[in-house]
């Protein structure tokens, strides 16, 4: 296993220590390792879902008109939420 040194501001160090003490971790290093593993697993899952989505349908052309339509739809949804 490789050792990594990490410099954290005091408030983040206190947070990490608190999370490690409150959870099922053997200390701050275990807590940080769990966070990194969770991030990696999430990335792997997202990549698998993206590939599955790409393989599930025939591709549609993404021309300038389609990009404009998508952008307009997203802007409309964002303005409806705000």
The reported pLDDT for the residue numbered 59 is 80
d(CA 19, CA 31): 7
Give pTM, 2 decimals: 0.59
The reported pLDDT for the residue numbered 10 is 97
Stated as kind and residue range, the H or E segment containing 73 is helix 64-81
pLDDT tens digit string along 9-62? 999 999 999 999 998 899 999 999 999 999 999 999 999 999 998 899 888 788
- Does 82 score more than 80 pLDDT? no
Helix (H, G, I), strand (E, B), or coil: what is residue 60?
coil
CB 23 within 8 A of CB 31: yes
């Amino acid at each position: 296993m490789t050792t990594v040194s990490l410099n954290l501001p005091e408030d983040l160090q206190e947070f990490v220590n608190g999370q490690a003490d409150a959870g099922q971790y053997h200390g701050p290093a275990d807590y940080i390792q769990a966070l990194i593993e969770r991030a990696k697993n999430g990335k792997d899952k997202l990549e698998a879902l993206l590939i599955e989505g790409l393989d599930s349908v025939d591709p549609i052309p993404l021309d300038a008109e389609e990009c404009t339509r998508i952008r307009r739809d997203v802007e409309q949804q964002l303005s409806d939420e705000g």
